[in-house]
Each structure stands twice: as structure tokens, then as C-alpha cells.
Amino acid sequence: MNSFNTDEDTKKILQKYNHCRVKIYTFNQSRYPRINKESLLPVAKDVSYSGENTEAWYPPGHGDIYASFYNSGLLDTFIGEGKEYIFVSNIDNLGATVDLYILNHLMNPPNGKRCEFVMEVTNKTRADVKGGTLTQYEGKLRLVEIAQVPKAHVDEFKSVSKFKIFNTNNLWISLGAVKRLQEQNAIDMEIIVNPKTLDGGLNVIQLETAVGAAIKSFENSLGINVPRSRFLPVKTTSDLLLVISAQLSCKLLGIETVFVVPGLFCTTFSIS
């Protein structure tokens, strides 16, 4: 899933992989207008994306995947091909590989009832205190992000002893459930108000959603505590060098380990 900021660059990079026997699909998420914090009116003068209007638009967070995936036509395409689940991850998470044990659990649940939504969580450390966590409310799992926590309770939220896990954003989601909920307009996600300051000094508001927040809309949702090795975000060159160093060390020690970059946010599965 790309935004209007990254779509063209991504397509150029993907041309290098035309010879590979892997199908790589892309689709664009929505484009929303930034809101002037003082007037509460859109910053954009018109619907164009050029000139002074460039900063007036933003991608509304990864929670937009459900609507954009549906609107792109890819959801129906994959369902028509017999695919049943989509694996969603952050593109910078090099630990987000396909885990066949989790997939087997989805297809052959111990209680006989398939999960429509599985969220991978892992143990929180002091470096992860801002990560969202799972709670249970009114019989449903819910994702709570730090942006939703009142200031008086932020320190409590960051506690590694009270909230011991956080969301890796590795998600396994039923395609049929996404289609059903999207057509019923029943995917409920909390709105995150994200204040920003543009280069010119204008204070604006962005309204965003998080993909994991939809967990409460799905039936029989589940959180699975996974090893830390499934959460290896690479946001800087030094992060990448650290991962490469770990790989080389494992090879020198004769330990077999593989890190695979997830294919542009989503991987789908057909079950025979």
C-alpha cells in the first residue's frame, strides 16, 4: 500500500523485479486534506496536488488499508483466486516473515472456530513504551494507542510491568471478513488526532486511523505473543547494519537464520 508521496518511486523500483516469479501488486491509499488548527477548515485551496497545495494533503494512516484495498479491486481479485487470508505488516519490519505455524493455527483452530483477525504482540521493553497494547472491553479485544491515553495516565500506559505486551503490527486478517465488514460499513476505528506544523509554520490537524484498531470489528479475534525476532524495524542505516551484522554473525557461527523483507505491506494465501 502506497501513498501519493511514494507511489511513483515504488513503481520505478519494482521494475527491477519484473523478471522474478513473484507477483507484486500495489495500490494507493486515500488522500485527505489537512485541517487548519485555528479555523478548522481545509488548508487546500482546491483538489489539485501541486504548487502551494502540495503540503495541504496527507495519507490518513495505515487504518485506511481496508477501504483502499477494497476500492482498488484487489480484494475481490484475491477472493476470486481462492485466497482466504492476508498477512499485513509494516514495510520496515524485517522480522515480519510468513510464519506457517500461525497460518496453520488459523486454518485448523483447536476450538474449531476460525479467527477473522490475529494480531502478533511481543513482550514490551523500555524501548517500546509508546507501542499500542491490547485490552479487553465488553467481550472484544481492543487496541489502545498512546495517542488515545489521557496525559494523566501516560506514565501508567508506558509501564512495562502493567502493560507487558505491545502490537508489532503483524496482522493476519480474513479477506472474506474484510469484504463483509467493508460492504456493511461496519469497520469501527478510533480517530487519532495528530497535530503537525507545516514548513511555513502553519499549525494543522491530521485525522488518522491505525490498522490494528479494527480488531474489535472482527469475530473471534486473537492476540498471539510472538518472539522478539518477529519485530525488527529498520528505520535508519544503522538499524539495517545491525540486522546485517546479526545475519553475518549467525552464518559464522553456523546458525541458520533468514530475514525477508515483506512484500509491500501484504501477502495473501490460498489454501489447498
Q: What is the average pLDDT across 39-57?
A: 85
Neighbours of 71 (CB within 10 A): 15
Query: Which among 218, 261, 256 has a CA at the least distance from the CA of 97?
Result: 261
Cell of 28: 494507493
Sign of the alpha-carbon dihedral angle for 108, 110, 111, 116: negative
Q: What is the mean pLDDT of the chain?
A: 87
Say if residue 258's pLDDT is above 80. Answer: no
Positions annotated as catalytic residues are 235
For β-strands 222-225 and 117-123, DSSP reports them as parallel
Q: What is the pLDDT of residues 55-90, one digit of tens each?
A: 899 999 999 999 999 999 999 999 999 999 999 999
Q: What is the pLDDT of residues 90-99, one digit of tens each?
A: 988 988 999 9
Q: Which of 49-58, 94-103, 107-116, 154-163 has the lowest mean pLDDT?
A: 49-58
Q: pLDDT-based confidence at 254, cuts 50/70/90?
A: low
Query: Which among 167, 71, 81 has a CA at the least distance from the CA of 118?
Result: 167
What distance in Å separates the CA atoms of residue 37 and residue 19, rounded to the nearest whole number?
A: 48
Domain spans, the chain: 6-269
What distance in Å separates the CA atoms of residue 98 and residue 106, rounded to the nearest whole number?
A: 13
Strand partners, 192: 208
**What is the reported pLDDT for 79?**
96
Q: Where are the alpha helices (DSSP H) in 73-137?
A: 74-80, 100-107
Q: What is the pLDDT of residues 232-245, one digit of tens each?
A: 888 888 888 877 78
Say if residue 267's pLDDT is above 80. Answer: no
What distance in Å separates the CA atoms of residue 173 and residue 159, rounded to the nearest whole number?
A: 29
What distance in Å separates the CA atoms of residue 61 and residue 181, rounded to the nearest whole number?
A: 19
Say if residue 261's pLDDT is above 60. Answer: no
Cell of 235: 528505520
Q: What is the pLDDT of residues 1-41, one digit of tens each?
A: 999 888 899 999 998 888 888 888 999 999 999 999 999 99
Q: Where are the beta strands (DSSP E) in the chain?
A: 32-33, 35-36, 57-58, 83-88, 117-123, 133-137, 140-144, 165-174, 192-197, 203-208, 222-225, 266-270
Residue 51 zone, left/alpha/beta (φ > 0; ψ -120 to 50; rest): left
Q: pLDDT-based confidence at 268, cuts 50/70/90?
A: very low
**What is the reported pLDDT for 67?**
96
Say if residue 255's pLDDT is above 70. Answer: no
**What is the reported pLDDT for 27?**
93
Q: What is the pLDDT of residues 121-169, one digit of tens each?
A: 999 988 888 889 998 888 889 998 888 888 899 999 898 888 899 999 9
Residue 130 zone, left/alpha/beta (φ > 0; ψ -120 to 50; rest): alpha
Say if residue 265's pLDDT is above 70. Answer: no
Q: Please tell me the class of the 6-269 domain.
A: alpha beta
Q: What percent of the chain has pLDDT over 90?
A: 53
Say if residue 183's pLDDT is above 80. Answer: yes
For β-strands 83-88 and 165-174, DSSP reports them as antiparallel
